[in-house]
């Protein structure tokens, strides 16, 4: 936010007299740096034109909360989007900004899908290695059992002779 322009000699409101505070507030009210406009709802053509003209000639920052995308496109030169990822500034009209953040969202979705696919592939590879190790363990156990049984069988045959 830009600072308010103060008359010469002003250092701020802190410690100022009540008259100085009121003069400061009057100055701020007549030429605010930030104009906040909430969606007024459906407007007549004349009211909409007056709102647009007022906001276009405002020398400071305009903060507009509206669902009227045509109004936003007509007025905005930059859009700040606040979501769970934080706040981000997009230059250009509202439609340009919206297209940019949708593209970013799609890119994040593709990145998530790619990461999930890599994770699934790692899990499948781990399962494959686990299955191979289990099969080798079974084969080793069967081989040891077979050798043990053969040895026992040979010993029994030796004892008969």
Going by pLDDT thresholds of 50, 70 and 90, the confidence category of residue 2 is: very low
Structure confidence at residue 96 (pLDDT): 94
Structure confidence at residue 11 (pLDDT): 43
Tell me the mean pLDDT in the region 44-64.
82
CB of 81 closer than 8 Å to CB of 67: no
The residues with which 65 forms a beta bridge, in sequence order, are 38
Structure confidence at residue 43 (pLDDT): 77
Task: Summarize pLDDT for 13-40 with one digit per residue, the tens.
Answer: 444 566 666 666 666 666 667 777 777 6
Higher pLDDT, 125 or 12: 125
CB of 68 closer than 8 Å to CB of 59: no
Residue 144: half-sphere exposure toward Cβ, Cα within 13 Å: 6
Structure confidence at residue 100 (pLDDT): 92
Query: Domain residues of the chain, as ranges?
Result: 96-161
The answer, yes or no, to whether residue 144 has pLDDT greater than 80, is no
Task: Summarize pLDDT for 62-119 with one digit per residue, the tens.
Answer: 777 888 888 889 888 888 888 887 888 889 999 999 999 899 989 988 998 999 989 9
Please report where in the chains the tokens 């439609």 appear, as a residue: 95
């Amino acid at each position: 936010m830009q600072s308010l322009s103060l008359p010469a000699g002003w250092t701020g409101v802190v410690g100022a007299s009540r008259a100085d505070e009121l003069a400061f507030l009057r100055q701020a009210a007549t030429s605010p740096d930030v104009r906040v406009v909430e969606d007024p709802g459906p407007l007549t053509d004349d009211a909409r034109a007056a709102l647009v003209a007022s906001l276009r000639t405002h020398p400071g920052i305009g903060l507009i909360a509206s669902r009227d995308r045509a109004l936003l496109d007509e007025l905005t030169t930059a859009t700040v989007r606040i979501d769970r990822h934080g706040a981000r500034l997009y230059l250009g009209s509202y439609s340009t900004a919206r297209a940019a953040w949708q593209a970013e969202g799609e890119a994040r979705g593709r990145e998530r899908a790619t990461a999930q696919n890599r994770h699934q592939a790692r899990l499948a590879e781990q399962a494959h290695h686990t299955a191979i190790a289990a099969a080798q363990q079974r084969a080793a156990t069967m081989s040891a059992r077979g050798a043990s049984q053969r040895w026992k069988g040979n010993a029994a045959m030796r004892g008969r002779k």
